[in-house]
Amino acid sequence: MSAPARPVADLKVALFATCFNDTMWPETPKATVSLLERLGCRVEFPMEQTCCGQMLTNTGYGSKAGALVRRFVDVFEGYDAVVAPSGSCVGSVREQHPGIVELVGDDRLASRVEHLTPKVYELSEFLVDVLGVTDVGAYFPHRVTYHPTCHSLRMLRVGDRPLQLLRAVRGIDLVELPGAQECCGFGGTFAMKNADVSIAMGADKVRHVLETGAEVLVAGDNSCLAHIGGLLGRQRSGVRRMHLAEVLASTEEDQA
């Protein structure tokens, strides 16, 4: 394990689990906590947190997301860093919260949003940029391929940070995913409103995943993984889907 770039024990770190992970994929925030604590962080989970508002905003109900933005700021502005295991939700905080506040027309809130937003990190950004680690001491002896979700890739520009982290995992056999940068077709309510196109896009993603021969598909967003995993499951492909946090949290004891 490489040494963190700065002492992290003093950092007041909050976990933003995201409502989707909290409700549907609790293993992911659990893994995030375990990973961050292993790296020396003191992690808090403020119980008053709920949701970033992305689903409402992206479906056209941005005016209803004002209260969620206010809550997000109230809950998290006291922390040095807010970490979320979701590129999509962090993307929403960075790209959409300022716009929602503008819609609501609250200048005071706008400046609080402006102050808080730079402290909100997607997991791989926090590990690589803030903690300065790429080797997080993980062990995961499986053939893995990585899907960079659109919002991590094009909203957050996380670049190859997740791959740096994965490459340093002991035992891993990391294989490149063909057409990795192409959208899997989830897109929130797009998966329902344009189900046929969404499935056609997902089918191509699944084909590429199967081409790699990977046992495990990894990504930084459970929403995309639910869609791709749902298609993989229907095909009885046997390929497992896992969140990046869960792979990075894995240790030798877990695999025993």
Partner 1 sequence: MSTTTPGPLQQTSATFVGMPTFPQAARAALANTQQRKNLRHATHTIRGKRERVVAEVPEWEALRVAGAEAKDEALTHLGDYLEQLEASLTSNGATVHWARDAQEANRIVLDIVRSKEVDEVVKVKSMVTQEIELNEALEAAGIHAWETDLAELIVQLGHDRPSHILVPAIHRNRSEIREIFLREMGTVGRPAPDDLTDDPARLAEAARLHLREKFLRAKVGVSGANFAVADTGTLVVVESEGNGRMCLTLPETLISVVGIEKVIPSWEDLAPMLQLLPRSSTGERMNPYTTMWTGVHEGDGPQEVHVVLLDNGRSHVLADRVGRQALRCIRCSACLNVCPVYERTGGHAYGSVYPGPIGAVLNPQLRGTASTIDKSLPYASSLCGACFDACPVRINIPELLVELRGQVVEQEGRTAESAAMRAAAWVLSDPKRLAGAQKAAATAGRVVGTRTVRSVPGLGAWTNARDLPTLPTESFRQWWARERGEDDR
Report the distance separating Cα 145 and Cα 179, nearest Å: 12
CB of 64 to partner 1, least distance (A): 4
Q: Which of 13, 36, 41, 56 binds partner 1 (CB under 8 A)?
A: 56
CB of 36 to partner 1, least distance (A): 14
Q: Is 51 in the site for partner 1 (CB under 8 A)?
A: yes
State the amino acid at position 102 in one-letter form: E
Q: How many CB atoms lie within 10 A of CB 134?
A: 18
Report the distance separating Cα 225 and Cα 241, nearest Å: 6
Name the segment binding partner 1 (CB under 8 A); options: 5-13, 113-121, 163-171, 189-197.
189-197
Q: Is 1 in the site for partner 1 (CB under 8 A)?
A: no
Name the segment binding partner 1 (CB under 8 A); options: 2-10, 161-169, 200-208, 244-252.
200-208
Q: Is 48 in the site for partner 1 (CB under 8 A)?
A: yes
Exposure string of 149-163, with b = 16+ CB inside 10 Å and e = fewer, is: bbbbbebbebeebbb
SS3 content of the chain, % helix, strand, coil (to 5): 55, 10, 35
Report the distance separating Cα 179 and Cα 29, nearest Å: 28
Which stretches of the chain bind partner 1, using CB under 8 A? 17, 19, 21-27, 29-30, 45, 47-51, 53, 55-65, 67-68, 71, 95-96, 99, 150-151, 153-155, 181-183, 185-203, 226-227, 229-231, 233-234
